[in-house]
Structure 1
Amino acid sequence: MPLPSIESRIAAELSAKPEQVKAAVALLDEGATVPFIARYRKEATGGLDDTQLRTLEERLSYLRELEERRAAIIASIDEQKKLTPELRASIEAADTKQRLEDLYLPYKPKRRTKAQIAREAGLDVLAEALLADHSLVPETEAAKYLKPAFKTAAGDDNPGVADVKAALEGARTILIEQFAEDAELLNNLRTHLQDNGIVVSAVAEGKEEPAAKFRDYFAYSETLKTVPSHRALALFRGRKEELLKVSLKLPEDMQPPPATGQAPFNACELKISARFNIADRKKPADAWLLQTVRWTWQVKLAWQLEAELLTALRERSEEEAIRVFAHNLHDLLLAAPAGPRATMGLDPGLRTGVKVAIVDHTGKLLETATVYPHVPRNEWDRTIAHLALLAKKHNVDLISIGNGTASRETDKLAGDLIKLHPDLKLTKIVVSEAGASVYSASALAAKEFPDLDVSLRGAVSIARRLQDPLAELVKIDPKSIGVGQYQHDVSQTKLAKSLDAVVEDCVNAVGVDVNTASAALLARISGLSSTLAENIVRYRDEHGVFANRAGLKKVPRLGDKTYEQAAGFLRVMNGDNPLDRSAVHPEAYPVVERIIADLKKPVKEVLGDGSTLKKVDPAKFTDEKFGLPTVKDILKELEKPGRDPRPEFKTATFKEGVEELKDLQQGMILEGVVTNVTAFGAFVDIGVHQDGLVHISMMSNKFVKDPREVVKAGDVVKVKVLEVDQQRKRIALTMRLDESAQRVRDNASGDFRRDRDSRPPQRQQQQPRREESVGAGAMADAFARALKRP
């Protein structure tokens, strides 16, 4: 039977009502953005949130493509006059693109195959006869179909059938093609391989040395359905670099071959023979047909399904890697801002010096400098004096230190500055400088600071990302922020789409001040393009700050539809309408006016007055346009106008004297910052230029299915040093602080998996692919072995 409507299918997947999905689809088709629909059209969608809407948007695209393909396939088969009612029904019931293609395979126009040439010579009759009647003697029957070379009706040359051997080979190619294009058989074989297939890898011959970083895969096997994303992507990278050979095998293929005779049929060959009622019944055609079955599997289907299923594994792995990257990016973008405070940014360096940038509370650059406190110049005291003068001159509150090369040395420098000049009341914080160098060399940075050296632009970025991580990080390509794994190995189109959606959701969740936001930040607001963002900034520069949201309508090319999409996410902090600094959409101002009139208080007194607003009955102010969800949202926003969903700002304090791997000792308890969360654990910066791994089994005394249940990027956590491998630069940490090291060993000995890409990122900014390195092996494996030692 035909499938339900697209809306009904999506509704079932989302556990929503078809009416909700239909409303959301209509809004998306009208050009509404996900953030706008999620926040300001709750009545229409029944309160679908941004996550559900993103899933809906993705599935809508897939299912519409599916329907287009279905229509094209039906039209193609119908044109061939081969569309039977049964075939049409099967096509209309196909619920995936793969199923559609399986059904279409026998009818798909293809190049002239050996099977087609055999059919032209009349060998299809021989093939059908031998398959239908196993009592026929193949050689005897084949002798009836000998034929000299000839030209077909289409004008093609056909070699004819020279002898019995050629006749039987032609008949076999016809049956192999017939078997390999059977949709039901393909589905059964694919399912069996998905459930039972084993991914096997081995080092390419003679590549042992260059493939050293993949040594954990030199003799590796794991069931297809259990290979995790990060492991699969490591395998595929090794194969792409021609260092590994990767294949898919059946369990019986892993057994040694028999000493004598032919190996028995494997499970897939048995399925082929059962599908076409072929077996050894001691009839004349049985042996020939059974050999045809074996050739169908070994010559045609085995490699075809292997390629298909390994491709599917790669796609699933890419999706998981993209999902993890997106989650980490979301957490990083919504990290707590230090707020509008004058900040000194320090971009650490040794020989090239420490780059210094001072920005005011709005992020405006005030002054830059380069100092040389470290080797080889060692101008420690002079640098402190210089930094003290700069801090005093510009009333600096915060010192933001990049976490790259010489980070700990520069952190110590800032510590001495604070000790020697307590009157300055400075606070130092080490921040991730991932992507700072990318921003420095970008066209955006060049436009903002055309006369500033590239190296100093990085210090500006480091200062600003402490004030407001979101506002600064949106200027950087999300892929360069460094919170993903194997990001260069996944579909760049899918990755960019996913990360752009995350940035859009984060920016709109926080909202931006239209009078201070950069064009890069404004461009991420619902409904605004890069051109419109530039127009807003240009209009602001020419006419002064916006006094209210309505002033945005004067910006060139910003029409009513765009204003509707964007206005609620843009803030006017000190304008002539107090509501403009809230997330209340201008279209809902009449509702606020009714609430204010009912309370008999001026709007300025009502804003922030939680005790008064909590007494308001939202149902009293609903109408045909604004339902209960919207009115409730309005009241919440009036209680805390312009509230920031990001957490309170706090910092980690690195332990004094612990600056390098050699300073770490087993059992040491440290404070650190989570830099990256993966499927198998979290990496934590503890201030030694090398992130440590808290394996998922070490995150809690309770079972943890997803590390993000416990931590997210940017969290400040306490960890205990479990093991240190200085040679391989590996640090194993635990968050189970109440256990002794020996007890942790006893309990964890079986928990570490072969997480081969688990090498933590190097603490150096100049390694753009640092988070992806397979490195010298699997950290988790190494420590699994270490934990098992007595």
Structure 2
Amino acid sequence: MNDSVRALFFINENSRNMNINQIIASELNAAEQQIQSAIQLLDEGATVPFIARYRKEATGGLDDTQLRHLDERLHYLRELLERKATVLKSIEEQGKLTPELKAQIDECDNKTTLEDLYLPYKPKRRTKAQIARENGLQELADSIFRQPESNPETLAEPFIGENVPDVKAALDGARAILMEQFAEDAELIGALREKLWNESEIHTQVIAGKEESGEKFKDYFDYREPIRVMPSHRALAILRGRNEEILMVALKYQPDETPITEQSEFEQQIAKHFNIFNVLERNKWLRDTVRLTWKAKIFLSLELEAFAKLKEQADTDAITVFAKNLKDLLLAAPAGRLPTLGLDPGYRNGVKCAVVDDTGKLVDTVIVYLHQENKMLMELARLIKMHKVKLIAIGNGTASRETDKIAGELVKMLPESNLHKIVVSEAGASIYSASELAAAEFPDLDVSLRGAVSIARRLQDPLAELVKIDPKSIGVGQYQHDVNQSQLAKSLDAVVEDCVNAVGVDVNTASVPLLARISGLNQTLARNIVAYRNENGAFKNRKSLLKVPRLGEKTFEQAAGFLRILGGTEPLDASAVHPEAYSVVEKMLAKQQISANDLIGNREKVKQIKASDFIDERFGLPTILDILAELEKPARDPRGEFKMATFTEGVNEISDLQVGMILEGVVSNVANFGAFVDIGVHQDGLVHISMLADKFVSDPRDVVKASDVVKVKVVEVDVARKRIALTMRLDDDKPTEKRDFRQPEKQQRSGRGQQPSNSAMADAFAKLKR
């Protein structure tokens, strides 16, 4: 950046940043001061969970979702500013930066418009238009454009020379110049882009000979839909079909039967934009130039942009759904600290069994075989009695039905043990088993048995165990391998971070992966905490965390409120009250003349405290109210109550289903078009959005969320295509109208060694067959 442009940029920096604040404030329906304060905190290194929880006064109570949006938009708009500076520098160096152009660049608020403005000035390879200009044909192009009533051939004759051998060469050069000028008009391109998006359709056809191999895309063998209304799941399905070379996908902007001799609406718009529409009938050369500009330059470019926009919107939609489902799964209620037997089903290699105690510590393992049923029952009964097992967690992969049946026999055999059996999702368990983390945690344990440990632990506390697995492998998204992977990873990581910090962790028992998700911490600091704990024993109070190598005051500020120390020397360390606010609690204790132990958890005493008495210049009403809520219910868990579904006896496979059956199931996944429900047949059924309730539903999550236990009725069963249509309108006896279930990626249970499917969601935490 040269000095003049640098000065121009920095002189306007404050006003530009103010525009950023205005844009984000408008999007979040917030005040500019809230946005400015949040941006300042983020720039200082504060994390979203910390700002959302402990800096409410500064941000006016912006929650974690709003702050995530703010952070994302802040990065986008700052990148836009940097790109503007680069563009301004480039155009100025060419000596073409006019006040009008500079004003247009300053005012544009998105990267697409900026690139449209920059296109005529963007350095490019030597084009036909540039060669024509070098041969002196710019004047001819201007003459033809300004004098459309004249004969182009007559106008071209004076330009014949050494580099322009004849009239045809002169006209070809003039046409190349005009086409480039037309295609680089920012205002025109913006209008055509919007028109194409609003009026075009996507048409799909199966590629000849691919009908059998592309069976899962059958719904799209001959399909069309306006691009602007196409939902994300259909867009991603169609784009996958194209990538797998099953479907031909095209963008149609006019009826196929339109005669080629007629000018399309888009070509007419180009002509009208340049005020030459009225002469096109009499000037075939200009008409052909406009047509070629549209077909050879503009449409091809805008078609690519349209598909890119469709993909981007579909990615964002799918990632949002994935993130919401992941949040529901991570915040699913834990079964609690109970000794648990994890069963990882299998035929040839047997059922891998692992017992973990009430803290999640591995205490015993064994492998048993389904074909030796009596021996298997005796061995499992021995483990249950020896370790006082209360829960049996059964992985939902291959042989899970047979293993579940054996578990049912154990429940009947040992009524005194008060056993409960739950089929849980094993999605990602095999990935964890072979990971470096699992190897470090269980160096002497066979890889196959590590999966059984994970299955048991994810029933006890899903959040603590699932943070060890790449979120993409947990199996709660759709088309996760098709969407933008960096955007997906960023979104899912943010969800995990928010969930872990919302719940908080016990610093004396938490694993490295769990600690690494705490605000302000990373893998290195998490390992240092665990190493210090192993060497010096349990932490007695939060202040002792400052003794951990590389954990300084700034990190302590970010992390301390989310780290719990139970039974330590400071009672408040077991709560979400931040150490910086302990002085407020001390004032409360002094005024009430009681000890911390007498106040914490004492609802009556807490209710007697008047929040306004403790507001000062540092701590406002939001923080005081948070402190009182925490004192009333210390370390309150935002997760709900653990529930279990009862599956119908005798309904084990999709072929067992009959239309009209009413079953209980677990919501395994929620999409924009409905909810998938696990009803115990290794194939999730779909409750279309129109079948979720007796009233209009705009968002399925308004009615259900992942891990909910619901009752459904079977509407339709397609055994061949493994599709099940369900309804939650149990009293509706009217014939169900045909629904649009275009969903080529099936909700099917994933076995061991397979890629995690989109089905298995929170069934891990809510199945019980009594």
Same structural fold, with TM-score higher than 0.5 when normalized by the shorter chain: yes
- Distance in 1, matches of 2:688 and 2:39, equals 41
Q: Does 1:336 pair with 2:329?
A: no
The alpha-carbon deviation at position 579 of structure 1 amounts to 0.5
Counterpart of 1:300, as a letter, is: K
Identity of aligned residues (%): 62
* Aligned partners of 1:326 and 1:499 also within 8 Å: yes
* Aligned partners of 1:134 and 1:283 also within 8 Å: no
* Aligned partners of 2:345 and 2:394 also within 8 Å: yes
**Counterpart of 1:137?**
151
| Structure 2 SS opposite 1:344 | strand
Q: Does 1:255 pair with 2:252?
A: no
Q: What does 1:477-488 correspond to in 2, within 5 Å? A: 477-488=470-481
**Counterpart of 2:191?**
188
The alpha-carbon deviation at position 87 of structure 1 amounts to 0.8
Match of 1:33 among 32, 39, 47: 47
Q: Does 1:351 pair with 2:348?
A: yes
The alpha-carbon deviation at position 283 of structure 1 amounts to 8.1
- Aligned-residue Cα RMSD (Å) equals 1.5
Matched residues, number: 746
Q: Does 1:611 pair with 2:598?
A: no
- Distance in 1, matches of 2:503 and 2:361, equals 21
Q: What does 1:269-418 correspond to in 2, within 5 Å? A: 269-281=267-279, 286-373=283-370, 378-418=371-411
- Distance in 2, matches of 1:505 and 1:629, equals 20
Q: Does 1:246 pair with 2:249?
A: yes
* Aligned partners of 1:691 and 1:763 also within 8 Å: no
Q: Does 1:163 pair with 2:166?
A: yes
Higher mean displacement: 717-726 or 508-517: 717-726
The CA deviation string for residues 513-565 of structure 1, in whole angstroms up to 9 with x for no partner, is 00000001000000001000000000000000001111100000000000000
The alpha-carbon deviation at position 480 of structure 1 amounts to 0.2
Counterpart of 2:339, as a letter, is: A
- Distance in 1, matches of 2:167 and 2:214, equals 50
**Counterpart of 1:108?**
122
The alpha-carbon deviation at position 161 of structure 1 amounts to 0.8
- Distance in 2, matches of 1:218 and 1:663, equals 31
Q: What does 1:561-576 correspond to in 2, within 5 Å? A: 561-576=554-569
Q: Does 1:56 pair with 2:54?
A: no
The alpha-carbon deviation at position 225 of structure 1 amounts to 0.6
**Counterpart of 2:753?**
766
* Aligned partners of 1:487 and 1:772 also within 8 Å: no
The alpha-carbon deviation at position 661 of structure 1 amounts to 1.6
- Distance in 2, matches of 1:661 and 1:335, equals 27
The alpha-carbon deviation at position 186 of structure 1 amounts to 0.3
Q: What does 1:443-592 correspond to in 2, within 5 Å? A: 443-592=436-585
The alpha-carbon deviation at position 764 of structure 1 amounts to 2.4
* Aligned partners of 1:199 and 1:224 also within 8 Å: yes
The alpha-carbon deviation at position 772 of structure 1 amounts to 9.2
**Counterpart of 1:77?**
91
The CA deviation string for residues 306-327 of structure 1, in whole angstroms up to 9 with x for no partner, is 0011101101101111111000
- Distance in 1, matches of 2:109 and 2:128, equals 32
- Distance in 2, matches of 1:641 and 1:721, equals 44
The alpha-carbon deviation at position 766 of structure 1 amounts to 3.1
Counterpart of 1:516, as a letter, is: T
Match of 1:211 among 214, 217, 226: 214
**Counterpart of 2:594?**
601
- Distance in 1, matches of 2:654 and 2:278, equals 67
The 3 A distance-change label for structure 1 pair 58 and 79 is same
* TM norm structure 2: 0.95
Higher mean displacement: 683-692 or 511-520: 683-692
Q: Does 1:95 pair with 2:109?
A: yes
The alpha-carbon deviation at position 758 of structure 1 amounts to 5.3
Counterpart of 2:106, as a letter, is: E
**Counterpart of 1:157?**
none
| Structure 1 SS opposite 2:490 | helix
- Distance in 1, matches of 2:38 and 2:459, equals 37
The alpha-carbon deviation at position 204 of structure 1 amounts to 2.6
**Counterpart of 1:222?**
225
**Counterpart of 2:179?**
176
- Distance in 2, matches of 1:626 and 1:381, equals 65
**Counterpart of 1:727?**
720
Counterpart of 1:42, as a letter, is: K
Higher mean displacement: 346-355 or 167-176: 346-355
The 3 A distance-change label for structure 1 pair 579 and 270 is same
- Distance in 1, matches of 2:400 and 2:483, equals 31
- Distance in 2, matches of 1:427 and 1:241, equals 45
- Distance in 2, matches of 1:772 and 1:739, equals 27
- Distance in 2, matches of 1:633 and 1:357, equals 41
The alpha-carbon deviation at position 739 of structure 1 amounts to 1.9
The CA deviation string for residues 645-672 of structure 1, in whole angstroms up to 9 with x for no partner, is 0001111111111111222222111111
The alpha-carbon deviation at position 41 of structure 1 amounts to 0.3
* Aligned partners of 1:121 and 1:147 also within 8 Å: no
The alpha-carbon deviation at position 754 of structure 1 amounts to 4.9
* Aligned partners of 1:230 and 1:757 also within 8 Å: no
The alpha-carbon deviation at position 503 of structure 1 amounts to 0.1
- Distance in 1, matches of 2:58 and 2:172, equals 64
**Counterpart of 1:120?**
134
- Distance in 1, matches of 2:279 and 2:541, equals 88
| Structure 2 SS opposite 1:5 | helix
The alpha-carbon deviation at position 737 of structure 1 amounts to 1.2
| Structure 2 SS opposite 1:770 | coil
Gaps of 5+ in 2: 1-11, 761-770
| Structure 2 SS opposite 1:507 | helix
- Distance in 1, matches of 2:466 and 2:153, equals 74
The CA deviation string for residues 170-206 of structure 1, in whole angstroms up to 9 with x for no partner, is 0000000000000110011011011111111222344
Q: What does 1:418-429 correspond to in 2, within 5 Å? A: 418-429=411-422
Q: What does 1:3-42 correspond to in 2, within 5 Å? A: 5-42=19-56
**Counterpart of 2:8?**
none
- Distance in 1, matches of 2:321 and 2:280, equals 57
- Distance in 1, matches of 2:593 and 2:54, equals 27
Higher RCO, 1 or 2 (CA under 8 Å, sep at least 6)? 2
The alpha-carbon deviation at position 279 of structure 1 amounts to 2.9
Counterpart of 2:176, as a letter, is: T
- Distance in 2, matches of 1:609 and 1:757, equals 55
Match of 2:744 among 741, 753, 757: 757
The alpha-carbon deviation at position 708 of structure 1 amounts to 1.1
The CA deviation string for residues 9-44 of structure 1, in whole angstroms up to 9 with x for no partner, is 111110001100000000000110000000000011
- Distance in 2, matches of 1:138 and 1:663, equals 77
Q: Does 1:633 pair with 2:630?
A: no
- Distance in 2, matches of 1:264 and 1:718, equals 58
| Structure 1 SS opposite 2:567 | coil
Gaps of 5+ in 1: 149-159, 774-790
The alpha-carbon deviation at position 281 of structure 1 amounts to 3.8
Counterpart of 1:175, as a letter, is: L
Higher mean displacement: 409-418 or 758-767: 758-767
- Distance in 2, matches of 1:63 and 1:323, equals 21
The CA deviation string for residues 609-654 of structure 1, in whole angstroms up to 9 with x for no partner, is 1122122111101111111100000000000000000001111111
The CA deviation string for residues 578-611 of structure 1, in whole angstroms up to 9 with x for no partner, is 1111000001000000011111111111111112
The 3 A distance-change label for structure 1 pair 122 and 358 is same
**Counterpart of 2:695?**
702
- Distance in 1, matches of 2:385 and 2:429, equals 26
* TM norm structure 1: 0.93
* Aligned partners of 2:668 and 2:759 also within 8 Å: no
